[in-house]
Amino acid sequence: MSKLILTRHGQSVWNAENRFTGWVDVDLSEVGKTEAKHSGELLKKLDIQIDICYTSCLKRAIETLTIILNSINPSLKFNTAWELNERHYGSLTGLNKEETKNKIGEEQFKKYRRSWDIAPPPIKLDSDYLSNFSPLNSSIPRDKIPLSESLKDTYERVVPYYNSEISKNLKNKKNVLISAHGNSLRALCKYLFKVSDTKINELEIPTGNPLIIEFDKDLEIQKYSYLNEARAKEIIFNQ
């Protein structure tokens, strides 16, 4: 059987400030670095060979993966892909979540944050945050760069990338590690666990807690579990 390990990056400095981050390229907080180190320690105890790694073009995911690899295999190279970037939060980028909820109301806030196909208004083209995007994103075709995204939009870049680049390694019995983001991993889990459009809003991905998924030769899921049971979230499967 092949194994896919999904890890959401550790807490970022904007996570700690409760801000919408999206594509802004912020660092891990000290808590996030500790979470990433703990993820590496959990994977080291698991004692499986990681054959190939993927991450996004955002440094909080790259740094998380680098810290993990320092624990399990410092010489292992990894692949960066903009398709694994966090969801783009449009005009919400940089805003405090609690203040935004109070301003626009809880119902609209939930629609922007957790609905399947509702995107926030687009980010303004003169926004200072546009200059804070990762330089690695310069490789993205201009017509692919979003100004806002729903989870559905995120799904429509994450899943094709998984199917074209990642799943072939799993079919070849390779063990794959992905370090990415809350929403890019939610999108991938929606696909892998066959989560409906209405139930996906209930799926939470904890920071710094690897989720290991075991597949058979036909890439049907056989087992799945978080490595840190104390910080696990419910997995929604086939609902």
| Complete DSSP assignment for 89-119 | -GGGTT-BHHHHHHHH-HHHHHHHHH-SS-P
127's CB contacts (< 8 A; 6+ apart) are 93
**Of 233, 185, 175, 156, the residue nearest 8 (C-alpha):** 185
H helix or E strand, kind and range, residue 151? helix 151-161
The residue annotated as part of the active site, out of 9, 38, 88, 181, is: 9
* Cβ-based neighbour number of residue 165 at 10 Å: 15
Reading the block at residue 3, the tokens are 């194994």
Q: Is residue 9 flagged as an active site residue?
A: yes
Nearest to 53 by CA among 185, 131, 169: 169
Report the interhelical angle of 151-161 vs 182-192 (nearest 10°).
70
Residue in 35, 86, 88, 149 annotated catalytic: 86
236 CB neighbour count, 10 Å cutoff: 17
> Could you give the dihedral angle defined by the CA atoms of residues 143, 145, 146 and 150, in that order, rounded to the nearest 10 degrees?
100
User: By the 8 A CB rule, do 216 and 1 touch?
Assistant: yes
What does DSSP assign to residue 165? I
Known catalytic residues are: 9, 86
